[in-house]
Amino acid sequence: MSESDQIFDWLNLPDGAASVSLWNSLHDAYAVSIRSSLLARSVSLFCEIEHLRLFHNFPEGWQFILNLEEVQSARIARYAVWPGEFSIPKGTSRAEESRMIAEYQSKWREESLTWADFEAKVTSEEEQVFDISNATLAASAEGTVALQICGNLNHATYRVIFLRAQRMTISGSDGQTFAVDQFLSFGAAYWEAFSRRGKAIAETGKPD
């Protein structure tokens, strides 16, 4: 199979594929609804990011919407924890602790779940949200995107989303669209201000 024939997928990214972390804006976001259409080949994630809404003075109820078009793959996975013994000895350095945890987690088994069941469980009416901890977007030279989103369903069960589509756009509740860099700038501004407040409190005992 030639390189041009390879499927661009998160689990099969070619060398040199460009990727960008979406952590700045999607960390601590709640996906309150996921809507997909097999006919339209679309998946839309409706996200409430309250700290960004307040910081940037968006109106009450504002949502950011990740719209994926010409969707080619939608998968959801869980991790079965390795049942063997694991403990971190007292006095272990932070670096060694991180290495031990990474080695332990490498023994976990990824297991597939049904996308339709997951999508049905993410519903604001029943307060079942997907609490996003991290997200990364990769793009091919041809424009195809691969998206990985990690988080907890209803703050309880860890899940990982994998989506592949021909393109992704980001919009707001009012239909306004945002480039990825613009969307990330909202989060970067918030976390920069958050860091400044933390430093001010540490130095003076009160926020600036």
Q: Is the residue at 102 inside a domain?
A: no
Per-residue pLDDT of 74-124, as tens digits, reads 999 988 888 899 999 999 998 899 899 889 988 988 888 999 999 999 987
pLDDT at 208: 58
Q: Could you tell me the two tokens for 64?
A: 């950011």
Domain of 192 in residue numbering reads as 3-81+112-204
Residue closest to 172 by CA, chosen among 35, 67, 26 = 67
Rounded to two decimals, the pTM is: 0.83
Number of domains in the chain: 1
Domain annotation covers residue 53? yes
Q: Using 50, 70 and 90 to split pLDDT, how confident is the model at 11?
A: low
In a domain, 106, yes or no: no
Per the domain annotation, does 94 fall within a domain? no
Q: Is the pLDDT of residue 1 over 90?
A: no
- Cα–Cα separations (whole angstroms), residue 154 to 123, 128, 129, 131, 132: 10, 5, 5, 7, 10
DSSP letter (8 states) at residue 13? P
From first CA to last CA, the distance across the chain in angstroms is: 59
> Mapping DSSP to helix (H, G, I), strand (E, B) and coil, where does residue 167 land?
strand
List, in sequence order, every residue forming a beta bridge with 132; answer none if it has no partner.
151
Check pLDDT > 60 for residue 37.
yes
In a domain, 93, yes or no: no
